[in-house]
Structure 1
C-alpha cells in the first residue's frame, strides 16, 4: 500500500467515525452521555482483543469503567432508535433491490443465572447445550457488502414467566415469550415496514416454515429457507408427480436432476455442492390473498448434496416463475455472510464481551457493536471504490462449474457428478 493510499484510508476512517458520532448524537439528551457513547464506540474499534469495560476505559484514558458502563445501564436512551439509525446507515452504504436479508442466531456463553435470558440451551456457537444467552439477528447482504440491521435477545420461557427475574434484569413489561421464528418474523416485518430494499430472505431450518413464509409471499419477497428432511412437499403440476418428505424426494432424484454449482467463494475457493431443484407449485400471487396482484410465483424444493460425504440439506423456496436454480443457489450461498459477521463482530468488535446483565444493557451493547460493524462495511465499500454494475447474485448465478445445458438454467439440464 502506498503512502497516499494509507493516508486516504486513515482519512476515510476518521471521516466515517466522525459521521457516525454525529448520527447518534440526537439519541442522547446529555452531552456527557454522548461523549461516553463515543468513547464506547471508539473502544469497540480499538486494537484490544477483549473489549471489557476496564480495557475500553484504559483506551479512553478513564480511571475506571464506570463512565462507559453507565451508557449500558444507568443512563436513559433508546436502543431501538439506535437500531434504526444503524439500519438506515447500512442501507445508505449497501442498499440494493436484489439484496438478501439473512436471519440467524448466535450464542453468548455466560456463567451464573443473573444475565438476562441466560440458561442452559443449545447454541451452535459451542455446538452443544450450555449456559448461554441467544440473540437472533438479521443481516443485510448485497453486492456492496453485508452488515447487521436488526437483533433481539431471546427470552426463554423460564425467564418470561418469572416476575422476579424480569424485574431484576429490567425486562420491559411489553416483552413476552416469543419463539425464535416469531422474533425473526418481527424483524422481517420491521424491514418491510421501513421499506428496506431487498428481494430475498435466507435462513436455516429453525426459521424455515410457518408465518414467515406467508408474510414474505404477501410482500412479494422470495425466499430460500432451510427445512428438515421430514418436511413434506407435493406438486400441483400435472406433469410432475411428486409427494413425500424432502428426504424421500431427494432419494428418488435421478442423475440428470443434479447440477454442480458454487454457492460463492469461501476461504479455500469456490464452495461447491451438487444441487437439485424441483419447482412444485406455480400459482398467481392473488391465490394467496385477493389483494395481491396476479404475478406468477413458484413454490419449490431445493436440495444440496455435499461432495465430501454425500449428505443432504433441504430448502423450501418461493420465487417468481422461471427463476433459475443458479439464482436460488446464490441466494442460499449468501447465508455465509452472517456467519462471517458473527465471527468478525465477536473477535474484533467485542460482540460477546457484554458485561451488563440487564435487557437494556444487552440491546445497547449489541446495537453499538452493530454500528461499529456497519462502519467497517462502509469503509470497506468506499475504499474499494464503485463495484461492478453486475449484481453479485447474477455473477454467482453464472458460476456453473458443470452443466448439461447452461442456457436452460435448470437442474434438469445437468449431468450428475
Structure 2
C-alpha cells in the first residue's frame, strides 16, 4: 500500500505544479481583454471557485466560498464590467488547442440544454433538450470540443436564440442581446464556429457531430474550410451510389456478411467495447464550387460508415468524407473519429458536474457569455493538467491512470483554495441570503397584488 500511496503522492505533486502553470498561462493570455484591473481578479477567482468542492455554483455560493462579504464583485464582473469576451474566448481556444494538438485533431460539435425556472433568461424558451429528456423551459447552446489523443476540452459555444425569441425586440433590449446577433440554426452556429477555428489557425483535421449536423449545408461548409468529416445521419438519409439513389438503411442491407468487420471502439474498467462495421462508397453531393478535379471527379473520397451492435443488431450511420483516398486501412481512422465524438458528452458532464456550466443564474447576454467563458477555461485547464500529469508521472504499480475527476480530487487538497467555512463567515452569509430572499418574496408579493388589481 505504501508503494501505491507514494505513486499517488508523486502524481499529486505533478498535478499541483502543472495546474499552477496552466492557470497562470491561460489567465496571462487574456489579461488585456479586461477594460480595467478590477475585473481581472474576479475572473481568476471564479475559475478556481468553479472547481471547489461545492453542492451548487452560482454568484451567491461562489462569493461565499471565496470569502467575499457579498455578491457585488462577481455580479459586476458578469454583467457590467468592461470585458472583451470574444477575444478572450479566441485566446483560450488557441491556448487549449496548442496544449492538446496532434495531427488527427477532431472538432466535435453538439448542443446541450440548461433548465431554467424563468422565461426572462436570455434565450430561454420551451424547447427540446436531450439533457432534459424532452421539451422544457431551457437555454440551448451549441458547443465545440477539441479532441485529440492527448485529451479533450471545449473551445467555443454559441447560444441558440429561437426565431420568435430573436425577433422579439423587447426581450432583446431587456437582456442586452447585440444588434448583430440574429436567428441562426444549430448547423449555422456550428459553421460560424468552424470559420473562427480556421481564422485562428487552430490545427484540426476532422469534424464530427450527430444527426443534427449531418445536413448538406454544414457538410459543404466543412469541405470549403478544408475539414474532413464524420457526421451521423438518420436511417432514412438518402445517398447517391453506383447503383442508384438509396437510403443508408437500404445500402446497409446490401452488405455481404463477410464484409462486416468487428473492431474495438473503446475501453472501460468493465472491459472493451466492440461493434461490427462496414464501409460503402457513395457519390459526393457537397463538393464546394470549383473544387472538382480536372477530370470531373470529386476530390477525395466519400463513404457511408455503418455501425452494427453485436447483439441487438441496431444500426447507426455516418456520412464521411476525406481528401485522402480511402483504402481499407482507413476504416480504423474513421472509427476512431466516431469514438472521439463521445468526448463532447464527457465534456458536458465535466463542465456541468464540476465547473458549473449549467448552474449560473444568468439572465442577460453579457452574463451568459461571461459565465460560460469562465466555465470553459476551468474545464480546459483541468484537461490540460490531466494530460501533462499523465505524461510526466512515472508508470503506476498496479494502478490505472488517474481520470480527470481523480486529478481534480488531488488538486482540491493541493492547488485549489478551500471554500471559506469559518463560523462568523457562515453566519454572515446565512443572514445575507435570508434577507435577500425575504426582499425577493416581498417584491413578488407586491407585483402579484398589482397585477391582480389591474385584471380585477
Range into which the TM-score falls when normalised by the shorter chain: 0.7 to 0.9
TM-score normalised by structure 1 residue count: 0.86
Shift of 1:86: 1.2
SS of the equivalent of 1:385 reads helix
Residue 271 of structure 2: aligned partner: 269
Tell me by how many angstroms 1:58 deviates.
1.3
* Paired residue secondary structure (2:157): strand
Matched, 1:321 2:325: yes
2:353 aligned partner? 347
- The reply on whether 1:290 has 2:290 as its aligned counterpart is yes
Moved more, 305-314 or 175-184: 305-314
Q: Alpha carbons of 1:162 and 1:57: their partners in 2 closer, same or farther (altered >3 Å)?
A: same
Question: In structure 2, do the counterparts of structure 1 residues 274 and 78 end up closer, same or farther at CA, with 3 Å as the change threshold?
Answer: same
Q: Which has the higher helix share?
A: 2
Task: Name the CA distance, whole Å, in 2 between partners of 1:293 and 1:196.
Answer: 27
* Residues 232 and 8 of structure 1, relative CA distance in 2, 3 Å threshold: closer
The corresponding residue for 1:91 is 97
Q: Which runs of structure 1 show a deviation greater than 6 angstroms over 4 or more consecutive aligned residues? A: 292-295
Aligned mate of 2:122, from 116, 120, 125 = 116
Match of 1:360 among 325, 349, 366: 366
Q: What root-mean-square deviation, in Å, do the aligned CA atoms of Structure 1 and Structure 2 show?
A: 2.1
1:5–1:254: structure 2 CA closer, same or farther, 3 Å change rule? closer
**Shift of the alpha carbon at 1:97?**
2.4
Match of 2:257 in 1: 255
The match for 1:410 is: none
Higher RCO (C-alpha under 8 Å, 6+ residues apart): 2
Determine helix, strand or coil for the equivalent of 1:117: coil
* CA distance in 1 between partners of 2:270 and 2:143 (Å): 26
Match of 1:128 in 2: 134
Aligned to 1:307: 310
- In the comparison of the two structures, how many residue pairs are matched? 381
Gaps of 5+ in 2: 394-456
SS at match of 1:178: coil
Residues 19 and 220 of structure 1: CA distance in aligned 2, closer, same or farther (over 3 Å): closer
Measured in 2, the distance between the counterparts of 1:172 and 1:13 equals 35
Aligned partner of residue 155 in structure 1, secondary structure: coil
Residues in 1 aligned to 2:284 and 2:123: alpha-carbon distance in whole angstroms: 42
Rate the CA distance shift 1:288–1:58 in 2: closer, same or farther, 3 A.
Answer: closer
CA distance in 1, matches of 2:360, 2:115: 11
Residue 202 of structure 1 corresponds to which residue in structure 2? Answer: 208
Query: Who is 1:21 aligned against?
Result: 27
How many Å separate the matches in 1 of 2:258 and 2:11? 51
Q: Which one has a larger percent strand, Structure 1 or Structure 2?
A: 1
| Alpha-carbon separation, structure 2, partners of 1:191 and 1:215 | 13
Match of 2:440 in 1: none
Higher mean C-alpha deviation, range 186-195 or range 163-172 = 186-195
Q: Secondary structure at the match of 1:247?
A: helix
